[in-house]
Structures are given as structure tokens and as C-alpha cells.
A and B are shown apart, each in its own frame.
Chain A
Amino acid sequence: MTYSALRLFKETLTGNRGWKPAWREPEPKPRYDVVIVGGGGHGLSTAYYLAREFGITNVAVLEKGWLGSGNIGRNTTIIRSNYLLPGNEPFYELSMKLWENLEQDFNYNAMVSQRGIINLYHSDSQRDAFVRRGNAMLMAGADAVLLDEKGIREVCPFLDFDNARFPIKGGLWQKRAGTARHDAVAWGYARGADRRGVDIIQNCEVTGFDIRNGVCHGVTTTRGAISAGRVAVCVAGSSSRVMARAGMRLPIESHVLQAFVTEGLKPVIPGVVTFGAGHFYISQSDKGGLVFGGDIDGYNTYAQRGNLPVVEDVCEGGMAIMPMIGKARLLRMWGGVMDMSMDGSPIIDRTPVDGLYFNGGWCYGGFKATPASGFCYAHLIARDAPHPVATAMRLDRFRTGHVIDERGAGAQPNLH
């Protein structure tokens, strides 16, 4: 069923009795060409692009819980392509371009809203760093505008410009950035993949890999063994646990990132604003809630909740740039488990086991990457060669020294 205004009109007149479930709930078949482990945003978009772009439709997506129950439903919904390094920026710009056409492409309202992102700077050196970043973005085909204090005052008059410690001097603005409706992204990809023949199998946990003589022939699951031509793991947050079942140790630690939302307010924040002197970012949802977050808690954890010191730190960041936030009441807060990699950048690569592929290490930037991650992963699985914009995201880059360290923090996952 294709969604359209005409369809909506027809259903309105006939009592909305014609709507069907957006995807099937099939029983697992004994064999697939490709089995994707993980039914989150990245797994579903991988399945979608495998079917749509590369014509591989005999695909299963295995999900331990329910569809989109991980970080696709727990993020702060920001989409942007304002990275610095050549190993990253072209990839995120591909993602941004895919976001821009996503809704027409998979015929689903993902509420992509390009309201822009402003990274504030507070010092001369920070401005220079943002000029460099902006130039790197332009070179990769993205958009970037450097705003001075006057420019920021026009867009965000509510900020604390004359803060004694961190006066706001300007910002780097990417107008094409913005937010998207996170759940709808998962649902849209799931529906798009399902319509092309992909089996999405929920409540099906992968308990092991069938690896013989260095070749992966399939997986064992809580719903029986499934053989596969290729197995693609895509379970950021749980990567270490799942890959341990294939006998692999990863350059990844699991950490919790907390997110917060206030009661609904009238429109006050145009797009996304980030603090340059601390870690704080904020946007306003379509419902009106201020959605914000900051640092990870810093200790290894698989619990989807954090602790109070970081709550305090995040709220201090908010008060430092926009004191009016102190009037808003916090409605909800939650945590998601992040794959924090050793250089702060993701991995999309083959593994030492033939037929076994790995996608993970998204740190806390996985949501914006959802389209390109799926697209490049599908390319890797279908062609057995990395997509040109994802060639640097190798699993063995720590051994060869080709790390992609945006922050320059070294092999210390909780600092990225």
C-alpha cells in the first residue's frame, strides 16, 4: 500500500478501515542470502538498500526485541554533516543527501526538518578551528556558514552572549542540518524493506555463529538455526557481546549517553544549538519539548540509564548558554548504550571470518548516519568492496595506525 494524500482522503471517507500493518511478521526460513543481525535503524536501512539499490531481496533482519527498540528510539534526532576529517565528512554528507530525499524514497513521513545547526564558538582559537572545519565541509560538498556575534544574535537572541566566562562570539552554521522523527525512520525503512520482500523477524536473538574453517555459514537463534550466504552484524550498543559469540574482541567499550526532554513549549529554538565551551546540545521537537543532552557518563555500562552527576553537568551547560531553560520543567530523561570506539569513529568492514561483516562503533553519532550506514553496509555486503565514502572505516585501522580521531583524544573511548 502506497501512502499518499489521495489514499488518506479515501480512508477518511471509508472510516479508516483499509489501513494494513506496515510490515509482515513472517516465520524465519531455513536459509537466506543475507542475514542481518539487529533490527535497529542501521540494520533496517541496510536491508532496505540491499533490496532497493543492489537487488538482493532474500534477506532476513533478526531482532532480539522489537523493531527499533535500541538507540533508534533513544537518540536526540539530530541530523548533520559537520565533520572535519576526510575519512568521515564525505560519508556524513552522503547521509545528509540521503536524508534530504528519504521520505519520497521510502514513501513514509520521517518528519525530516532542515532547521539548521549552529555550533557556538567562544574564543578566537575556536573560531579558527571552525573556519577550518567549515572549509573541510565545503570541500566535501556540504554547506557551512560562519556567523559572527551579530549573526547569531539575529537567529538566537535568547542566548547568554555576555556570559562572563564563555561569551558567545559567533558560530558555525549548517543550514541543511536539522532533526528527523527517529521512530518513523525505523518504521519507514522497515516498511520499505518489507515491501521489497525482506523478512523482518522480531523476538529472535542470535545466540551463536556457524563458523567452520574460517567461513561463516549462518547463525543459531532462539528460533532455530538459519543458514546464510552472508551474515551482517549491526548491533551498535551490544557489538562486543554479539561479536564475542564469533570469538572476536573489538576496539569498543559500551557507555551510556543520557537524553532529556522538557514539557512542551511554544517555538523558541530555531534548529539545533550546541555549546562550544562545554558539552551541551539542544533542539525543539515538533511537539514543543526541548530535547537536549551532553556528555556520556564515562564508565562502562550496559544499563540503559545513567547517574545524576552527568544530569547536573548537562543542565549546567544549558544554563550557561541559555538561562531561560531554567524556567522549563524536565519531563523525561533516559539513557542509551553507545558503542564507544577507540578513535570515536565507526566501523563498517569485513571481519577476519569470511562471510561475516561488522557495522558498529557509532559512538553517540549513529542516528544521523542511519541512511549512509545502511547504504554503505549494503554496498559492502553486495559487492564485497567498501563504498568509496566508507573506505577509511576499517576494523584493522588501529593496527595500521590509520585512525579517524576527530577529537584527537587517543585510545580512550570515554573521551571521544
Chain B
Amino acid sequence: MIIDHPLLGPRDAAEFVILGDATLIDRPDPQAPDALDRFHDYVHLRDNPAGSHRELWYHEQGDRSWLVVTRNTLTHAVIKVELARGVALAGRKTRSGKR
């Protein structure tokens, strides 16, 4: 697999390690009344879809950036690559906008 790094261009996936589903960015609020349930789901349950999957990859043997890679789990095709920092900040903005 080739991951098209937003800053460095196309890189071999072997330079990266994968953490898993990109929803791991959205850590639950530890102060929420149902925090225990939410953390159980956050840590242990996964959608694990067959098809398009957003996941966190770390460029360990490169620039050490975290990426959100959208990849098809049936074909291994990489569809979209974003800097995880950008995704996390955008998510935070959306969430605070909702409040």
C-alpha cells in the first residue's frame, strides 16, 4: 500500500504503524454521567466496516506525524489522507459549535 502523505507525498505503508479506527480521536468526556459506558465503548467496541474505513496511521519512520487515512478494507485502496491534527481541530470546532 502507498499512503499519499499530505506533506511528504507518496510513502510506502511499511514506514507507518497503524493504531486503528479514527474515532479514537474523539475521546469521551470523563465528567459525563455515563462516562464508564462511553469509555467501555470507546476502548473496546469497533464498527469494523467492510468498505470505507477512517483510521489513524503514525509515520514512525518518517516525520512522526499522525494521519487520518480513509482506506477501503475490501480492496486496500487508499482514498484520502489528512493530517490527524487538522481532523482533530476541525472536530473540536464542530463540537464546540454545537454547544
Q: Which residues of A contact B (CB under 8 A)?
A: 240-241, 244, 249-254, 298-303, 307, 309, 342, 398-399, 411-414
Contact = CB atoms under 8 A, between A and B. Distances in A.
B27 to A, nearest CB: 14
B93 to A, nearest CB: 27
Given A254-B50, A342-B43, A412-B20, 15 more contacts: A240-B47, A240-B48, A241-B48, A249-B45, A251-B44, A251-B45, A251-B46, A253-B20, A253-B21, A253-B48, A298-B18, A302-B74, A411-B44, A412-B19, A414-B20
A221 B71 CA distance: 29
Contacts of B44: 251, 342, 398-399, 411
Contact of A299 (B49, B71, B75): B71
Contacts of B76: 301, 303, 307
10 contacts: A244-B47, A250-B48, A253-B21, A299-B1, A299-B13, A300-B73, A303-B75, A307-B13, A309-B12, A398-B44
B18 A299 contact: yes
B14 interface: yes
Given A300-B20, A300-B55, A253 B13 contact: no
A307 B1 contact: yes
Interface string B68-99: 00010111100000000000000000000000
Interface of B: 1, 12-14, 17-21, 40-41, 43-50, 53, 55, 71, 73-76
Nearest to A313: B14
Contact of A414 (B18, B43, B73, B75): B18
Contact of B41 (A241, A249, A252, A299): A249
A301 B76 CA distance: 7
A6 to B, nearest CB: 49
Contacts of A303: 73-76
A241 B71 CA distance: 17
Given A300-B53, A309-B14, A254 B74 contact: no
A244 B41 CA distance: 15
A412 B17 CA distance: 12
Contact of B46 (A253, A298, A307, A399): A253
A302 B73 contact: yes
Contacts of B13: 299, 307, 309
Contacts of B45: 249-251
Nearest to A399: B40
Contact of A411 (B43, B49, B55): B43
A250 B41 CA distance: 9
Contacts of A412: 19-20
A241 B1 CA distance: 24
B73 A254 contact: yes
Contacts of B14: 309
